[in-house]
């Protein structure tokens, strides 16, 4: 699923265009964000792709949605 990741202040958020949904990231498996699982405020869980830690945000990526 195509998602857009962005950071405002110290908080990360995700926008899912297909669902017109924007949610804050409430949990991250890895402190560097990339390559791990993230959990959104609505309970959705995504597996993010491996990317360089210095990747600039906002960025659109293809992420896999997992069972919450």
**2-66 belongs to CATH 2.40.50.240:** yes
What is the residue extent of each domain of the chain?
2-66
pTM listed for this prediction: 0.91
Both tokens of residue 2? 């195509």
- Between the alpha carbon of residue 49 and those of residues 9, 30, 45, the distances in Å are 23, 12, 13
Tokens of 58: 């906002």
Per-residue pLDDT tens listing for the chain (68 residues): 999 999 999 999 999 999 999 999 999 999 888 999 999 999 999 999 999 989 999 999 999 999 86
* The pLDDT value given to residue 32: 82
């Amino acid at each position: 699923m195509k998602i857009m990741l962005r950071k405002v202040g110290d908080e990360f958020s995700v926008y899912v265009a297909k669902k017109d949904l924007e949610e804050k990231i409430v949990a991250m498996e890895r402190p560097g964000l990339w390559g791990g699982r993230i959990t959104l405020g609505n309970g959705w869980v995504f597996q993010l792709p491996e990317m360089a830690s210095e990747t600039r945000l906002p960025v659109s990526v293809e992420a896999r949605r997992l069972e919450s």
